[in-house]
């Protein structure tokens, strides 16, 4: 049975499960839950082997916020060791330190080549952040795909069920790349949206969709719905994927019951992940570091206006 680490600072409480990819399973702030939780979360079991495909991964996905690494999306065709969303995403991470407001964890692949070190932290103002580094201990260049699988839901998206619209605010310099639901770029000639509102105003009247924000100059996304505004900020990753699922997918296991909004900083601007031709790559001995933070404000909170 998985055991969790709980961090409690002020009105904020975090629950991290090391055995399930060091996932931030719950983020409670002011008595409300803000991260998605799947209807099958109670049935999730710790797996000793990485998920080979999407159905297997989704079956053991409880929601929340976890790192997809060292690849994202489907496994590479020539990489026998890769897994859906990366072997680290649902693996057991080793806890290396715990304080009142932080927990540090690490993961190493089976060959001792790629090492990930991750630190969750909660500040007194309710900002939850994670700082992560990846190191290549091998003598070869390695393909490295990364995505912060940060999925909002629960109380935060409750107004959506009653007709509220989610407003997204992101850097105008970003290139919007439309993707199919698997995350693959749309084929040339495929029907594309004619309205930016399709990407900035999201509702239950729209089907599930995925799109990318490529190369935003300002790496900040604000999400407004009901009484709350969420802000995701990141550095060290070039892009972000947005995944919208507002109870519109009827097939199993979604069954029109999953309400989720993924705001996912990534180093690959599509859901096909890194590859041997385009990378991104991690050189022998190289270490890279990136950081992502999440904070919530009530709309009447003046601090949001001060930070805007």
CB 121, CB 102: distance < 8 Å: yes
pLDDT tens sequence for the chain (308 residues): 579 999 999 999 999 999 999 999 999 988 999 999 999 999 999 988 999 999 999 999 999 999 999 999 887 655 666 799 999 999 999 999 999 999 999 999 999 999 999 999 999 999 999 999 999 999 999 999 999 999 999 999 999 999 999 999 999 999 999 998 888 887 654 555 656 889 999 999 999 999 999 999 999 999 999 999 999 999 999 999 999 999 999 999 999 999 999 999 999 998 778 888 888 999 999 999 999 999 999 987 555 444 44
Distance in angstroms (rounded) separating the CA atoms of residues 268 and 278: 10
End-to-end, the C-alpha distance of the chain in Å comes to 43
Read off the pLDDT of residues 191-235 as tens digits, 9 standing for 90 and up. Answer: 556 568 899 999 999 999 999 999 999 999 999 999 999 999 999
Q: Which of 125, 142, 138 is nearest to 301 (CA)?
A: 125
Residue tagged 């690849």 (tokens) = 71
Return the ∠ at Cα 141 (arms to 139 and 147), rounded to 5°.
Answer: 125
Buried b (16+ CB within 10 A) or exposed e, 78-93: eeeebbbbbbbbbbbb
Domains of the chain with bracketed CATH: 5-307 (2.70.98.10)
pTM: 0.94
Residue 32: C-alpha distances to residues 26, 28, 168, 246, 287 (Å):
10, 5, 21, 19, 37
| 130 strand-pairing partners | 120, 292
State phi, psi for 82 to the nearest 5 degrees.
Answer: -80, 160
d(CA 13, CA 85): 27
What are the C-alpha distances in Å from 65 to residues 16, 149, 198, 283? Answer: 9, 5, 25, 27
Structure tokens at 160: 């959506």
Write the DSSP string, the chain. Answer: ----EEEEETTEEEEEEGGGTTEEEEEEETTEE-B-B-TTGGG----SS--SSHHHHHHT--BSEEEE-S--SSPPTT-TT--TT-TTTTSPPEEEEE-SSEEEEEEE-TTS-EEEEEEEEE-TTS-EEEEEEEEE-SSS-EE---EEEEEE-GGGGHHHHTTPPEEEEE-TTSEEEEE-TTSPBPPTT----S-THHHHEE-TTS--EEEEEES-SS-EEEEEETTEEEEEEEES--EEEEEEEES---STTTTT--EEEEEEEESSSSTT--BTTTB-EE-TT-EEEEEEEEEEEETT-HHHHHH-
């Amino acid at each position: 049975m998985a055991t969790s680490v709980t961090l409690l600072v002020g009105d904020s409480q975090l629950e991290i499960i090391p055995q399930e990819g060091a996932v931030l399973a719950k983020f409670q702030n002011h008595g409300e839950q803000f991260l998605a939780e799947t209807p099958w979360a109670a049935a999730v079991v710790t797996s000793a082997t990485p998920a080979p495909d999407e159905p297997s991964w989704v079956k053991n996905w409880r929601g929340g916020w976890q790192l997809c690494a060292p690849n994202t999306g489907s496994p590479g065709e020539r990489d026998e060791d890769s897994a859906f969303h990366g072997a680290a995403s649902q693996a057991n991470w080793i806890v290396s330190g715990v304080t009142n407001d932080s927990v540090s964890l690490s993961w190493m692949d089976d060959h001792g080549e790629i090492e990930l070190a991750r630190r969750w932290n909660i500040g007194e103002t309710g900002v939850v952040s994670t700082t992560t580094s990846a190191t290549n201990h091998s003598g070869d260049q390695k393909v490295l795909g990364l995505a912060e699988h940060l999925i909002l839901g629960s109380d935060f998206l409750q107004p959506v069920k009653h007709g509220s619209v989610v407003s997204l605010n992101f850097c105008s310099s970003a290139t919007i790349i439309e993707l199919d639901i698997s995350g693959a770029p749309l084929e040339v000639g495929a029907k594309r949206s004619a309205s930016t509102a399709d990407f900035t105003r999201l509702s239950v009247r729209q089907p599930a969709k995925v799109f990318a924000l490529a190369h935003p100059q300002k790496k900040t996304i604000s999400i407004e719905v009901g009484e709350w505004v969420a802000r995701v900020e990141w550095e060290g990753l070039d892009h972000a994927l947005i995944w919208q699922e507002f109870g519109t997918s009827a097939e199993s296991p979604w069954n029109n019951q999953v309400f989720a909004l993924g705001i996912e900083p990534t180093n690959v601007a599509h859901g096909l992940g890194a590859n041997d031709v385009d990378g991104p790559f991690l050189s022998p001995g190289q270490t890279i570091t990136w950081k992502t933070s999440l904070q919530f404000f009530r709309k009447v909170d003046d601090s949001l206006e001060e930070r805007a």
